[in-house]
Amino acid sequence: EVQLVESGGGLVKPGGSLRLSCAASGFTFSSYNMNWVRQAPGKGLEWVSSISSSSTYIYYADSLKGRFTISRDNAKNSLYLQMNSLRAEDTAVYYCARSDRGWFDPWGQGTLVTVSS
């Protein structure tokens, strides 16, 4: 069974940092592009970042302005999102999702990041 499990969310103060992880299982992780998508409370879905299977290509939403860094470790079947200079508007559930020909399938259960003083 294909499974994605996020971790690392929590409460952080404005200006702080957090590192999210996503553990993948049930498929050949190194063959797939991976993504982070977030959802603010009561809001819609927002694409955050994508990374190609071998980390050659990396893309970010313009709104992040260089504060987030996506990475992966294919030996550990893991995806990461380093988030720095966090703001209140970064408060959201963060999902990791596998790319499948341009869409996202499946998604993990998400991890909640709350930025508040």
Partner 1 sequence: EIVMTQSPATLSVSPGERATLSCRASQSVGSNLVWYQQKPGQAPRLLIYGASTRATGIPARFSGSGSGTEFTLTISSLQSEDFAVYYCQQYNNWPPYTFGQGTKLEIK
Q: How far is the CB of 75 from partner 1 (least distance, A)?
A: 26
| Beta carbons within 8 Å of 62's beta carbon, 6+ residues apart | none
22 to 51: interface string for partner 1, x by CB under 8 A: -------------x--------xxxx--x-
Binding span for partner 1 by CB under 8 A among 23-31, 66-74, 84-92, 103-111: 103-111
Query: 67 — alpha (psi -120 to 50), left (phi > 0) or beta?
Result: alpha
Answer whether 35's CB lies under 8 Å from 104's CB.
Answer: yes
Question: At closest approach, how far in Å is the CB of 105 from partner 1?
Answer: 4
Largest CA-CA distance found in the chain, in angstroms, rounded: 40
The yes or no reply on residue 90 touching partner 1 (CB under 8 A) is no
Q: Among 66, 75, 103, 117, which residue sits at the site for partner 1 (rule: CB under 8 A)? A: 103
Closest separation in Å from C-beta 69 to partner 1: 15
Over 55-72, what HEC string results?
CCCEEECHHHCCCEEEEE
- Name the site residues for partner 1 (rule: CB under 8 A): 35, 44-47, 50, 59-62, 95, 100-110
